[in-house]
Amino acid sequence: MSEALINRLVEFAESGNQQKIVLAGQSYQGWIMEISDEALQISTGFAEKTGKDVWIDFNDLNTAQLWFWDNKQDQWVEFKL
């Protein structure tokens, strides 16, 4: 994957208090935990018992909506790759 895309994903991971990815009608809200060469991992839920880690392939991000929680505005803000 391109270095520019990986840099944008790192920026997304560092934006706001939480991140949200909406993909094919499914919403994943939590924290970006890892970015590999092919996918990113988002950890959802509030505790290990209810949360789960989901890997999302970079190719799927082309059709996804990315959001981050902005504490200053107290709302979700869309993030564009």
Residue 21: give its domain's CATH number.
2.30.30
DSSP bridge pairs for 79: 66
What does the alpha-carbon distance between residue 40 and residue 33 come to, in Å, rounded to a whole number?
A: 8
pLDDT tens for 12-60 read 999 999 999 999 999 999 999 999 989 999 999 766 667 789 999 999 9
Residue 2 has pLDDT above 90, yes or no: no
How many angstroms separate the Cα of 4 from the Cα of each of 32, 54, 76? 18, 23, 24
pLDDT the model gives residue 51: 76
58: containing domain? 3-79
Structural domain count of the chain: 1
What does the alpha-carbon distance between residue 73 and residue 81 come to, in Å, rounded to a whole number?
A: 21
pLDDT the model gives residue 45: 75
